[in-house]
Structure 1
Amino acid sequence: MKRKITYAIVILAGLQLMAGCRKYLDISPQERVLLDNYYKTPAEANAAVISIYDRFGFQSGGLYDKVAIMDVASDDQFTGGGGPSDINDLQVVNNFTLNSTTGPQSYLWNKGYAGIFRANVLLSKIDGITMDATVKARYTGEAKALRAIFYFDLVRFFKNIPLLTSAVDPKEIYNVLQVAPADVYALIEKDLVEAIPGLPNTVVARTEGGRLTKGAAQAVLGKVYLQQGKNAQAAEQFALVNGTSPGQINPVYGYKLLTNYSDLFKVANKFNSESILEIVHSNASNGGWGDAGASEGNLLNIIVGPRGYKPGPGAPDYYSGYSFLLFTKEFFDFIHFDPRNKPTVANLDSLEKNGIATYEKGYQNTGYFLEKTIGRVADKAPTGQTELNFPQDSYEIRLADTYLLEAEALLNSNAAVGPGSRAYLLFNAVRARVGLNPVPVTMDNIMKERRLELAGEGHRFLDLVRWGKASTVLAYKGFKAGRNEIFPIPQGELSNTKIEQNKEYGGTK
């Protein structure tokens, strides 16, 4: 999705709720497009929708994104990098020493509320635009579904948050209050239920790849239900996404597991049959160091590459990077004899011991790198800053994820899970794709399978929290039960406002 929006909506910075977001609205008077003069045509409505997607795919200028944050919060990966303070926002997540002034929470908060602001503005204006009713319903659905996605992340990350469904009067910006998480979930569900009918079943990948479909919104709604323990409702939504015959193509949406697991992570396989919702990246944006977060390139591709990489004959064409998101030795031992090992883990120590390549040992080096997203020389950008312009897309949701989630929802709702049952077929279709034999559908097996299948894709930490396992599994990293399940609200959102810090971080909320 296009990242650099060619228009700007001028409104008081306070409407975005947080002071940290003000820089996104700072523009020169000569470039201003006044709010009252915009939202007049279908083209402007489409541009406004694209501006919401801009926040969905937004990356931090500190060279990380949501996936990186979730990965280093998990038990599978260390932050790594060049030293104990390199990308410090990630380091403090890795050892759970983050606080209201230190960590990536401002990025997460600002990304979410800036997207919500843009969605709210479009939703308040779209009824006044003369346009085809089907197109209007689609744009409305996209705005509501994206708003739901932003709120889903925010309520999981921060728990007690403001709930904004319209622009806030500048005079009231410092009086905004938080609401109960149940109220946020109620809006999320309502937005998604209302959005789904207006969304298309499929989109043309070449021109609209990355835009929401019915299946994507239903997958998100399934995740929302599952997060709240509404297992039967979650299973119902996932069934619509996964299709009537697990392992076979969904005849409505065209979803199907790829035959080869490793093909999921090839740059050329954007918008493949397993992709339900992905964040689009490009090597054509000419992104530079002046605003790295605004680049359309995938910043994970550069930060996870091995430092000082020097390949010999026959070595992989990794682009030398910054050695972040290293897998732990424990995880490597866990996945070592699984068929997904090589597509997941780049074993640099093995390459070096066999005289195939050398690399510099960074901070917390284990020798085990994230193969799925290492930038490749073959994918170098033709122009611009190479490091910031790798084109690999990131999966927000893919089919193996929803197969396993439906199996989990069915198990937890006391549905049949024995051989021949839907849960059994879903669960073991994921294993069969990589040549593994069937195993029973148990919670332990589901947890193991999600860890193996989705490693390094940003799911593990949120899974552990949902399962109530985080305090045990992450104790070695300093995780404290009843505290580190969420992030502290950024200090900048507390100063001179009525927003209160969560009690987990010394507040009263």
Structure 2
Amino acid sequence: MKKIILLGLLSVMVFSGCESELDQAPISNRSAATFYNNETDFEQAIVGVYNALSYHSGSQFYLSEVRSDNVYIAGLAGVREWIPITNLSRTLGNSITRTAWDAPYVGILRANTVLDKLNEAAVPDQTTRNRMEGETKFLRAFFYFDLVRFFGGVPVIDRIITPAEALEIPRGTPQDVYDLIVSDLKSAITLLPNTPSEAGRPSSVVAKALLGKVYLTMSGPTYGISGPGLGVDMKSDALTLFNDVISSGQFGDVPSYATIFNSTSENNADIVFAIQNINDGTGGDKGIGTILPTLMYHESWARVHLPFAGGSPSDGIVTPSNQVLNSFEASDVRDDYSILRSWVDDTGGLSTDAMIVKYLDLDSNDEPIASTLPVDRFNWGVDFPVIRYTDVLLMKAEILIQTGGSQTDIDKIINDVRNRAGLGTVSNVNLDVLLEERRKEFYGEGLRFHDLVRTGKVIDVMNAWIAVDDAADVMNQMEANFIIYPINQSQLEVSPGLYEQNPGYN
């Protein structure tokens, strides 16, 4: 995927004429009619759909990791946009939530355009055409899965529409959104090859992994809101899909935790699907690298250890919560790899403001490896793991716990993960133990809030944490309404009355 991702920069131009109007929903592009003439054109256009994934890591970090008990930001002196997210504010519309709505719809626009134009005359080979359709439907489902988890019901648009039509399409229900997601992923499973055509592209097995996570999310409780959980029991369907992924033999154990994320060992056996990022060494925000590490490290650390600016500033510093820092056992290698607990600051002193360094490729002296540094803070080349094999295994264990499955199988899955982390075995693992293991295994990967919501634990766990860790007394209590985010005011004003604001927000 990395060798062709640069083509996305060209294909983005095909769509760019209308995206400035994409405040509400995807709108068709007149120039697209003359672009799709042959297989190469479609390949470029599909890479443009992949290019739209660039928002995903930042949205998952802010709206799932920062929202959860994994991160604490007092923010007493600042107005940074992530502060109301972590503090459960009722007044929350900002660029972070706006991007989480707008950016997936950019991808949906591109996907709908590709699916509308794909035809036998332009792409005569049926196998190639099937792959193209399967990849595009997988990506469209991916975008909608992000939307339903963050906003609940959203407008469901599965075709090219006009600006006038966009002003008349209301929000669908979460069930409506899931109907399209499930349909697209089932099609992708049928259309895609069994193994990826290239690293970073989905296969039939990858689509099964994502559909399994979708089913598990749908099975979560509703909390009495129009959110991501439907309260339906799809766990057995999810388990079947996860078992298919496991039995495919395409993934397996990676003995070293660091190897999973290291930029020199990308697309290893633990990676089911990852967003591919490139550090091309030339600088400039081309949309082929990721800003994610910059969102995590501290600005004062960067002034000493990096050749460029950036990082979370002192008035809104992103810091692992005390609770998560205290949760790691002494020998847990995931602690050392994911979190830097102390470092030399720009005064030469020792700072104990812990920070997330999972994607920084630090050496044994906690210094960035020079060969992995980008020219600027926008274009780190490290890939972002979306679904890991370890995630599939632990989701299987989650289902077994909830359905009365084999305790031996449950314990083995958890102990295999703990063994790689340098920890001893445990027995009689229950859901709480599993969630704590997931918390440490996937720290910094944007899964924590989703995990708590899916398992029905989010309100109790968050409020128990707030009672202990909110030293600055800046957080609201967690409530069901805060499981999803508000619709940005700009959306509400495009066609007044078309959308209603999600309950709980001003």
TM-score by shorter chain over 0.5: yes
> Equivalent of 1:18, from 14, 23, 31?
23
Superposed CA deviations along residues 36-87 of structure 1, whole A, max 9, x for unmatched, are 2111101111111111111112369xxx4432432111111135899622xx
**1:95 deviation in Å?**
0.9
**1:113 deviation in Å?**
0.8
Q: Output the CA distance in 2 between the equivalents of 1:171 and 1:380.
A: 50
SS at match of 2:72: strand
SS at match of 1:396: strand
Instruction: Determine whether 1:400 maps to 2:390.
Output: yes
**Residue identity matched to 2:339:** V
**1:177 deviation in Å?**
1.2
Superposed CA deviations along residues 431-451 of structure 1, whole A, max 9, x for unmatched, are 232243142231111111111
- Cα distance change on mapping 1:462 and 1:186 into 2, 3 Å: same
Q: Output the CA distance in 2 between the equivalents of 1:90 and 1:142.
A: 33
* Residue equivalent to 1:52: 49
> Equivalent of 1:483, from 473, 478, 481?
481
SS at match of 1:309: helix
- Matches for 1:154-173 after TM superposition, within 5 Å: 154-173=147-166
Q: Output the CA distance in 2 between the equivalents of 1:494 and 1:361.
A: 49
- Matches for 1:413-428 after TM superposition, within 5 Å: 413-414=403-404, 416-419=405-408, 421=409, 423-428=410-415
**1:35 deviation in Å?**
1.8
Instruction: Determine whether 1:152 maps to 2:145.
Output: yes
SS at match of 1:395: strand
Q: Are the aligned partners of 1:306 and 1:320 in contact in 2 as well (CA < 8 Å)?
A: no
* Residue equivalent to 1:258: 254
* Residue equivalent to 1:234: 238
**1:386 deviation in Å?**
2.6
The alignment yields a C-alpha RMSD, in angstroms, of: 3.2
* Residue equivalent to 1:188: 181
Q: Are the aligned partners of 2:15 and 2:110 in contact in 1 as well (CA < 8 Å)?
A: no
* Residue equivalent to 1:286: 282
**Residue identity matched to 2:18:** A
**Residue identity matched to 1:441:** V
Superposed CA deviations along residues 462-491 of structure 1, whole A, max 9, x for unmatched, are 111112222233232324312110000111
TM-score, scaled relative to structure 1: 0.82
- Cα distance change on mapping 1:492 and 1:317 into 2, 3 Å: closer
- Cα distance change on mapping 1:325 and 1:219 into 2, 3 Å: farther
- Cα distance change on mapping 1:34 and 1:108 into 2, 3 Å: same
User: In terms of mean alpha carbon deviation, does 73-82 or 153-162 score higher?
Assistant: 73-82
> Equivalent of 2:40, from 34, 40, 43?
43
* Residue equivalent to 1:211: 201
Q: Output the CA distance in 2 between the equivalents of 1:378 and 1:319.
A: 15
* Residue equivalent to 1:9: 14
Superposed CA deviations along residues 68-117 of structure 1, whole A, max 9, x for unmatched, are 432111111135899622xx221221112253633511101111111111
Q: Return 5+ residue gaps in structure 2 as ranges.
A: 220-233, 363-367, 467-474
Q: Output the CA distance in 1 between the equivalents of 2:82 and 2:209.
A: 28
Q: Output the CA distance in 2 between the equivalents of 1:77 and 1:431.
A: 23
SS at match of 1:276: strand
SS at match of 1:34: helix
Q: Are the aligned partners of 1:307 and 1:321 in contact in 2 as well (CA < 8 Å)?
A: yes
- Cα distance change on mapping 1:256 and 1:387 into 2, 3 Å: same
> Equivalent of 2:339, from 340, 345, 355?
345
Q: Are the aligned partners of 2:59 and 2:96 in contact in 1 as well (CA < 8 Å)?
A: no
Instruction: Determine whether 1:221 maps to 2:214.
Output: no
Superposed CA deviations along residues 244-295 of structure 1, whole A, max 9, x for unmatched, are xxxxxx52x2x0121011222211111011001111111106342xxx4x43
Instruction: Determine whether 1:124 maps to 2:138.
Output: no
Size of the aligned set, in residue pairs, is 463
Q: Output the CA distance in 2 between the equivalents of 1:336 and 1:432.
A: 13
SS at match of 2:272: strand
**Residue identity matched to 2:503:** E
* Residue equivalent to 1:141: 134
Q: Output the CA distance in 1 between the equivalents of 2:183 and 2:382.
A: 33
Superposed CA deviations along residues 330-361 of structure 1, whole A, max 9, x for unmatched, are 2111114234221121111xx5xxxxx33579
Q: Are the aligned partners of 1:261 and 1:434 in contact in 2 as well (CA < 8 Å)?
A: yes
**Residue identity matched to 1:150:** F
Q: Are the aligned partners of 2:213 and 2:238 in contact in 1 as well (CA < 8 Å)?
A: yes
> Equivalent of 1:71, from 65, 70, 77?
65
Instruction: Determine whether 1:326 maps to 2:319.
Output: yes
- Cα distance change on mapping 1:359 and 1:453 into 2, 3 Å: farther
SS at match of 2:82: helix
Q: Are the aligned partners of 2:486 and 2:505 in contact in 1 as well (CA < 8 Å)?
A: no
SS at match of 2:274: strand
Instruction: Determine whether 1:308 maps to 2:282.
Output: no
**1:501 deviation in Å?**
2.5
**1:406 deviation in Å?**
0.9
Identity %: 26
Q: Are the aligned partners of 1:199 and 1:214 in contact in 2 as well (CA < 8 Å)?
A: yes
**1:135 deviation in Å?**
0.8
**1:381 deviation in Å?**
6.5
* Residue equivalent to 1:429: 416
Q: Output the CA distance in 2 between the equivalents of 1:467 and 1:171.
A: 40
- Cα distance change on mapping 1:386 and 1:191 into 2, 3 Å: same
SS at match of 2:319: strand
**1:460 deviation in Å?**
0.4
**1:309 deviation in Å?**
3.5
> Equivalent of 2:190, from 187, 190, 197?
197
TM-score, scaled relative to structure 2: 0.83
- Cα distance change on mapping 1:103 and 1:309 into 2, 3 Å: closer
Q: Are the aligned partners of 1:202 and 1:213 in contact in 2 as well (CA < 8 Å)?
A: yes
- Matches for 1:448-463 after TM superposition, within 5 Å: 448-463=436-451
> Equivalent of 1:105, from 97, 116, 133?
97
> Equivalent of 1:34, from 12, 16, 31?
31
**1:373 deviation in Å?**
2.0
**Residue identity matched to 1:412:** Q
- Cα distance change on mapping 1:439 and 1:16 into 2, 3 Å: farther
Q: Output the CA distance in 1 between the equivalents of 2:461 and 2:346.
A: 31
User: In terms of mean alpha carbon deviation, does 208-217 or 142-151 score higher?
Assistant: 208-217
**Residue identity matched to 1:173:** A
* Residue equivalent to 1:441: 429
**Residue identity matched to 1:257:** D
Q: Output the CA distance in 2 between the equivalents of 1:368 and 1:303.
A: 14
Q: Are the aligned partners of 2:302 and 2:310 in contact in 1 as well (CA < 8 Å)?
A: no
- Cα distance change on mapping 1:185 and 1:142 into 2, 3 Å: same
Q: Output the CA distance in 2 between the equivalents of 1:311 and 1:180.
A: 47
- Cα distance change on mapping 1:386 and 1:210 into 2, 3 Å: same
